[in-house]
Amino acid sequence: MKGLPPVLITAIVLVAGFALCAMQFPNIASTRVLGNLLTDNAFLGIVATGMTFVIISGGIDLSVGSVIGFTTVFVALAIERWGVPPLVAFVAILALSAAFGAAMGVVIHVFDLPPFIVTLAGMFLARGASFLLSTESVPITAPVYSTVSDFALRMPGGGRLTAIAIIMLVIVIGGALLLRLTRFGANVYALGGSRTTASLMGVAVGKMTIKIYMLSSLLAGIAGIVFSFYTSAGYSLSAVGVELDSIAAVVIGGTLLTGGQGSVIGTFLGVLIQGLIQTYINFDGTLSSWWTKIATGVLLFAFIALQQGLVALARRPVVKSAGAAS
Amino acid sequence: MTALLPRRGLAQVLALIVILAIDRIVSPQFFDLRLQEGRLFGSLIDVLNRGTPVALLTLGMVLVIATRGIDLSVGAVMAISGAIAASLADSHGLPIVLAAALGAGLVCGLWNGFLVAVLGMQPIVATLILMVAGRGIAQLITEGRIVTFSSPDLVWLGNGSVLGLPVPVVIALGMLILTAAVVRGSALGLLIEATGGNARASELAGVGTRAMILSVYVWCGVCAALAGVIAAADIMGADANNAGLWLELDAILAVVIGGTSLFGGRFSLVLAVLGALIIQTMNTGILLSGYPPEFNLLVKAVVVLAVLLLQSPKLSGFAGIAMRLRRTKA
């Protein structure tokens, strides 16, 4: 695909949007706002990283929002009611989320079912399970939580790079490296390009499918823990609709929804763009939060239409000169 | 195959009977009907009445899914049409209110259909756009408030009765008959199935696949708008945040329970509506049983999984092999 890569377009949109916002509200261009942007969207960044892998492989994961909700409730109950040490609770919930994702991957692969509907069932299941645990918001008072919440690296200009923002950045960078530099990452692209070709080339399609959904649910579990740090509570209705936000971030980040192309960095930029819209609306004060949805919808459309155009352009020369196709 | 799996639809009817029987055990008055002020009351009527919005969504969704598509935006379209109906209800007559609300649904359907049929986007993605933005648009119409109205005409649509039956039920029944007459009374249904079965082959055989796809999304939008008007009329107000929330998932589930494959092709309108009734009977049963309504989600998840596994191409493959083995033995 020649011309501007989608990630670059996303970056340009982010920079242009940021410049526009900064012209109207000069205060936006400060490390304080940047720090808040990263903190407020930490869980979204983590979960969208996992979603990127799933979508590049040609699938989709609708269950991530519910997994976050379940995780916050589980962690809160484990620490506050069952007296489990926080670290043990974290390990337990991460193992549980990974197993949940693996189970969805098994169902998708073994029974050859569309990921959309399997993860939809997973979404009902995880949300229902969190309702069963508790329908009330459970505050978390463990000392670890206040320690982590208070921890922050000072940035020049008074901004605070909080612990959860750091966790998110580490996961985004780790995810980008995993996707770009490892055999696992190459296989993810191969699966999204064509399942049959990938299988003929010797990719273990079943194992890969299971691993990819495991990764997505595991990251959703981490995002859930981060979310519980963010709100210091566990609530079964938290993170409703996050699956849509993260899919939107992935698409805005230039990942092809049909699979085969995309990047974690693009997704990260997509998360920042959504955060920027929210920040702008907060600064403005008169606009209501529903404008976020409309703006996200417009951006979604613009990026999907752009992809459609790029794909059409990329296909055309192949027909004309088959030998030159790369 | 016919000996092993009798007529299509038997599984759904049996499932409905089993769930009704469980409901009867849970709540002994389940089948009681009484006539009061010229209107029937009872749990069964309640199931029909509450099931109406999803049943209407299902009528459009089943056609969309038959073309191998999916429409995620129906819940948001419900919110938009409900918002329009509620804001116009007290200042305009019912015909204008209905025309505006259904017109909005038509435009939404055209938009989705345009993205899928003309721009060639993946249906999940194309309708995701309106799913995300639609609720924002609905909020814009209601200006973020819950708009209430008292227009007796519109309220009658949600709470009135005709021949003892609630108006929404009559409307849903009418829509089912209308859709079935148009789709099955002509070759349209066959052409839709052909489009879903193999769009390229149908195109080559002379089926106007683009027109087919466009029209099913438009119909889906109109059905969703009607469901939105009824939902608004029912509560005498429009809540842009919650109207139709997650109902797209229920509608998809109803279609899947009704035996229509998500991979397109054959569909059944009646069975899909039956699927909607099965879901509602389950919901009502859980409510009556005194369990917290949160159980709904768990039960739904189990049902989806069970239906999916039954539909799985792999499993029917196993069943085919098993049958062949049996036949060779005999």
A311: which 2 tokens?
A: 């794909």
Question: Among A233-242, A262-271, B110-119, where is mean pLDDT lowest?
Answer: A233-242
pLDDT < 50: residue spans in chain B:
1-6, 330
Number of residues that make up chain B: 330
Asked if the structure places residue B111 within a domain, the reply is yes
> What was the pLDDT predicted at A326?
38
> What was the pLDDT predicted at B2?
37
Rg (CA), chain A: 20
> What was the pLDDT predicted at B126?
87
> What was the pLDDT predicted at A176?
94
User: Tens digits of per-residue pLDDT, A145-159?
Assistant: 888 888 888 888 778
Given a contact cutoff of 8 angstroms between Cβ atoms, the answer to whether A49 and A221 are in contact is: no
Asked if the structure places residue B38 within a domain, the reply is no
User: Tens digits of per-residue pLDDT, A37-58?
Assistant: 999 999 999 999 999 999 999 9
The total domain count for chain B is 1
The predicted model gives A276-304 an average pLDDT of: 82
Give B304's contacts in chain A (Cβ within 8 Å). Answer: 117, 120-121, 124
Residues in A 4-33 with any Cβ partner in B closer than 8 A: none
For A258, nearest residue in chain B (alpha carbons): B122
> What was the pLDDT predicted at B328?
57
> What was the pLDDT predicted at A151?
83
Residue A136, judged by CB atoms within 10 A of its CB (0-12, 13-18, 19+), counts as exposed
Which residues, at least 6 apart from B268, have a Cβ–Cβ distance to it below 8 Å? B8, B9, B62, B258, B259, B260
Q: Which of A60, A304, A310 to mutate to test the interface with B (most CBs of B within 10 A)?
A: A304
What is the rounded CA–CA span in Å between residue B90 and residue B97?
Answer: 9
> What was the pLDDT predicted at B229?
94
Asked if the structure places residue B35 within a domain, the reply is no
**Residues B308, A244: C-beta atoms closer than 8 Å:** no
Residues in B 120-159 with any Cβ partner in A closer than 8 A: 120-122, 124-126, 128-137, 139-140, 144
| Nearest CA-CA distance, residue B224 and chain A, Å | 20
**Residues B129, A300: C-beta atoms closer than 8 Å:** yes
Asked if the structure places residue B6 within a domain, the reply is no
> What was the pLDDT predicted at B1?
34
Asked if the structure places residue B5 within a domain, the reply is no
User: Tens digits of per-residue pLDDT, A72-101?
Assistant: 999 999 998 888 888 999 999 999 999 999
User: Tens digits of per-residue pLDDT, A18-40?
Assistant: 888 888 888 888 888 888 899 99
Asked if the structure places residue B138 within a domain, the reply is yes
Tokens 């092709």 -> residue? B265
Please say if the pLDDT value at position A318 is more than 80. no
> What was the pLDDT predicted at B318?
57
Residues in A 57-76 with any Cβ partner in B closer than 8 A: 60
Asked if the structure places residue B39 within a domain, the reply is no
Rg (CA), chain B: 21
Tokens 């379209």 -> residue? B77
> What was the pLDDT predicted at A325?
40
Domain holding B136, by residue range, is: 50-323
For A236, nearest residue in chain B (alpha carbons): B294
> What was the pLDDT predicted at B227?
95
**Residues A135, B308: C-beta atoms closer than 8 Å:** no
What is the model's pTM? 0.84
- Please name the member of B134, B140, B300 whose beta carbon is closest to the beta carbon of A124: B300
Asked if the structure places residue B161 within a domain, the reply is yes
Runs of H (alpha helix) within B186-246: 188-197, 199-204, 209-235
Residue A149: helix, strand or coil by DSSP? helix
**Hey, which CATH number is domain A6-314, 2.60.120, 1.10.3470, 1.25.40, 1.20.58?**
1.10.3470
Give which of B138, B96, B303 is closest to A121, Cα–Cα. Answer: B303
For A237, nearest residue in chain B (alpha carbons): B294
> What was the pLDDT predicted at B323?
55
**Residues B315, A111: C-beta atoms closer than 8 Å:** yes
| Nearest CA-CA distance, residue A69 and chain B, Å | 14
